[in-house]
């Protein structure tokens, strides 16, 4: 009887982990990117965008990509790392400033981010941290995963 109980327990745990992974992939955070201030048309001034995390998990901004609209589609014009804080909690906002492209007629900003891991994957990451560092991670320990994008509105320049 005991081996059967162990098999049932393993099947239930694997099913719960599978469900958790699938549920977390479906519930991508709602992140918006809107223009706050835009320079005068034809000038090379900076443009300020506001990133808002309306999702249920924190996010980590990793890259800000300015893209030009070309006949072949959207092409990367520049890429920068956002300044600190890069982590945005649920409901938090952050203003980011990017230089407007001089030569692009139509362009947009793409923010690339990861989202906070929770559930069994966070627990496994904590175990990995403890095994490699010889101590349990601090209370502020977190793991970000995935690669998501949100786009600002198309801006004429």
User: What percent of the chain shows pLDDT beyond 70?
Assistant: 76
Tens-digit pLDDT profile for residues 82-92? 888 889 999 99
Local structure of 108: helix, strand or coil:
strand
- pTM value > 0.75: no
Tens-digit pLDDT profile for residues 43-102? 557 888 999 999 888 999 999 999 988 889 999 989 999 888 889 999 999 999 888 777
Instruction: Give the confidence band of 144 by pLDDT, cuts at 50, 70, 90.
Output: confident
- Contact 152/109 with Cβ under 8 angstroms? yes
Tell me which DSSP letter residue 143 carries.
Answer: -
Strand-pair partners of 49: 35, 96
Identify the residue whose tokens are 């990367």. Answer: 76
Q: How far is CA 24 from the centre of its chain?
A: 14
Tell me which DSSP letter residue 42 carries.
Answer: T
- Contact 49/36 with Cβ under 8 angstroms? yes
32 contacts: CB under 8 Å, gap ≥ 6: 51, 52, 54, 150
Q: Where are the domains positioned within the chain?
A: 29-156
- Chain-wide mean pLDDT for the chain? 81
Write down the pLDDT at residue 38. 66
Write down the pLDDT at residue 23. 55
Write down the pLDDT at residue 9. 60
CATH of the domain spanning 29-156:
2.60.40
């Amino acid at each position: 009887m005991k081996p059967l109980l162990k098999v049932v327990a393993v099947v239930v745990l694997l099913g719960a982990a599978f469900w958790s992974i699938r549920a977390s992939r479906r519930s991508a955070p709602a992140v918006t990117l809107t223009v706050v201030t835009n320079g005068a048309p034809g000038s090379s001034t900076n443009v300020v965008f506001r990133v808002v995390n309306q999702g249920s998990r924190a996010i980590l901004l990793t890259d800000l990509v300015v893209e030009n609209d070309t006949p072949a589609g959207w092409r990367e014009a520049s890429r920068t790392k956002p300044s600190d804080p890069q982590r945005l909690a649920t409901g938090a906002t952050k203003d980011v400033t990017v230089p407007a492209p001089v030569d692009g007629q139509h362009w947009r900003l793409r923010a690339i981010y990861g989202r906070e891991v929770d559930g069994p994957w966070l627990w496994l990451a904590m175990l990995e941290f403890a095994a490699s560092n010889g101590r349990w991670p601090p209370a502020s320990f977190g793991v970000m995963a995935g690669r998501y994008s949100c786009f600002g509105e198309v801006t004429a320049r």
